[in-house]
Structure 1
Amino acid sequence: MAQSLLLVLLGGAVLRISLLSTTYLNYVKPGFRPFLVAAGLVVFVLGAVGLFQEWRGKASAGHSHGPGVAWLLGLPVFAIFLIAPPALGAFAARSEEAPARPPAVALDAYGPLASGQVTDMPLSEFIGRAWGDSGRSLAGRPVRLTGFVVPSKKKDRWYVARIQIACCAADGIPLKVAVLDADRPPENTWVEVTGTWIDPELEELPQGTVAPELTATSVTVIPAPVEPYE
């Protein structure tokens, strides 16, 4: 009975975070939702069938008791209901030794940016343009970046960051852009940072070795997005 109940609880937990809420986005990409729902349903049904068969067997053969310690197997499942871990945040991106992620597209594949207006841009694209675009398309173009706040050991800066995942949080890689000339909001606060790229003016840009820098003109605190990862 303990095994079947564990399956029911586990299947219910998966359905709760994937079918009845968006909590699953803290752990996987949106495209995995159908697979989570299907897996949750299968596990739940298997557990329910096991409980029903156990109940029928006890009704016809009398009551029996298994080892009480077996119920401890349910503790991890209850933990999912009560204390589900949040999405990766500032703690996962604190290291200043980790390099920024190199651009995921071919060099010079980025198009020109519109002049005279602020461009909303993912951090991955900003980093790619900063270190992988010899045409320096970011130069003089205001952009708006969205991410969470990560402190820096250097007093003149802090980072706006976001975790990039391929499929799930286990393969997450922190993307960080150094923010200058702006007061730092509290750690892990989600913000929109508007500013302009600081061109290092190097003949060969150090692709993906350090975080690119941004001179901020405004920093706006925002609610955490439903989908926290890039």
Structure 2
Amino acid sequence: MNRLTQSMILILLGGAVLRITTLSTTYLNYVKPGFQPFLIAAAAVVFVLGVVGLIQEWRGSPRPDHHEGHEHGHEHGHAPRVAWLLTLPVFAIYLIAPPALGAFSAKSEEAPAQPPVAALDAYHALPAGKVNDMALSEFIGRAWGDSANSLVGRQVKLTGFVVPSVKKKDRWYVARIQIACCAADGIALKVAVLDATMPPENTWIEVTGTWREPKSGKLPAGTVAPELDAISVTEIPQPVEPYE
């Protein structure tokens, strides 16, 4: 790989990241919204370095003598072959554009992961007579450890994608991936949906219903997915920000 090719790859890589962070919301499939300024800054630096390298190659540089040119050509003129791996993210972004994590990632984690929720018993009371729009992490936190049982008799609306159970044929979940910074650290949050026909796998839905209290009393945190008696299930487009 010569310097001209290196510069072109830097331009393509920087341009690809700038494209998904400034002209679209595709970057939200991979990181949290707060990382946008850092991605833009890093992509701009890579892009500028590529342009500068390209200009230098076009202008040309003073040619050293024959022996010097021969030695420096071998020493500096080519990058290791592994540098071609830099083209992979470019092709991935331009040609593939990997989607956000979905049902496949959630299905592989049958035991529900414990989300980093607020301290137990720190939840406010839910108003009666209305549908409470709620994140899955909050619903799971209330179901696992709210001694005030604030979910009892309250209707809630959860948003996520459909995940069939691996172990039980008639069981399915509304799920969402929660991330701390990027998709690599995502954990699956799942709530079992009861008394409703399962939409196609990986379909995004809004499900309204009421919490079904466990027969054994307190639900063991991190061992069993909370259950929701569904009142309605509505298919929706994927949200712009797919992660919690």
**TM-score normalized by the length of structure 2:** 0.86
Which sits farther off after the overlay, 196-205 or 145-154?
A: 196-205
Equivalent position of 2:182 in the other structure: 168
**TM-fit CA distance, 1:102:** 4.4
Inter-partner Cα distance in structure 2 for 1:48 and 1:14: 15
Residues 58-69 of structure 1: pairs in structure 2 closer than 5 A: none
**8 Å CA contact 2:153, 2:210 repeated in 1:** yes
Residues 148-163 of structure 1: pairs in structure 2 closer than 5 A: 148-152=161-165, 153-163=167-177
Inter-partner Cα distance in structure 2 for 1:148 and 1:160: 5
Inter-partner Cα distance in structure 2 for 1:110 and 1:69: 52
Equivalent position of 2:191 in the other structure: 177
Residues 124-139 of structure 1: pairs in structure 2 closer than 5 A: 124-139=137-152
In structure 2, relative to structure 1, the CA distance for the partners of 1:53 and 1:97 (3 Å cut) is same
Equivalent position of 1:10 in the other structure: 13
**TM-fit CA distance, 1:72:** 7.5
In structure 2, relative to structure 1, the CA distance for the partners of 1:105 and 1:65 (3 Å cut) is closer
**8 Å CA contact 2:102, 2:161 repeated in 1:** yes
Equivalent position of 1:200 in the other structure: 214
Letter in 2 for 1:194: T
**TM-fit CA distance, 1:99:** 2.5
Of the candidates 125, 130, 139, which is equivalent to residue 117 of structure 1?
130
Larger radius of gyration between Structure 1 and Structure 2: 2
CA RMSD across the alignment: 2.3
Count of residue pairs brought into register by the alignment: 228
Q: Describe the SS at the equivalent of 1:147.
A: strand
Is 1:141 matched up with 2:154? yes
Q: Deviations over 1:117-164 (max 9, x none)?
A: 111000000000000101111011110000000011323321000000
Equivalent position of 1:79 in the other structure: 92
Any gaps of 5 or more consecutive residues in structure 2? 65-76
Any gaps of 5 or more consecutive residues in structure 1? none
**TM-fit CA distance, 1:104:** 1.6
Of the candidates 17, 23, 27, which is equivalent to residue 20 of structure 1?
23
Equivalent position of 1:47 in the other structure: 50
**TM-fit CA distance, 1:202:** 3.2
Q: Describe the SS at the equivalent of 2:60.
A: helix
Is 1:186 matched up with 2:200? yes
Equivalent position of 1:104 in the other structure: 117
**8 Å CA contact 1:28, 1:167 repeated in 2:** yes
**8 Å CA contact 1:2, 1:71 repeated in 2:** no
Inter-partner Cα distance in structure 2 for 1:181 and 1:93: 21
Is 1:31 matched up with 2:34? yes
Letter in 2 for 1:196: T
Runs of 4+ in structure 1 over 4 Å off = 58-61, 64-73
In structure 2, relative to structure 1, the CA distance for the partners of 1:84 and 1:59 (3 Å cut) is farther
Calculate percent identity across the aligned residue pairs. Answer: 76
**TM-score normalized by the length of structure 1:** 0.91
Inter-partner Cα distance in structure 1 for 2:92 and 2:164: 30
Inter-partner Cα distance in structure 2 for 1:124 and 1:198: 17
In structure 2, relative to structure 1, the CA distance for the partners of 1:116 and 1:102 (3 Å cut) is same
Letter in 2 for 1:43: V
Q: Deviations over 1:158-191 (max 9, x none)?
A: 1000000000000000000000100000000000
Equivalent position of 2:103 in the other structure: 90
Inter-partner Cα distance in structure 1 for 2:243 and 2:170: 27
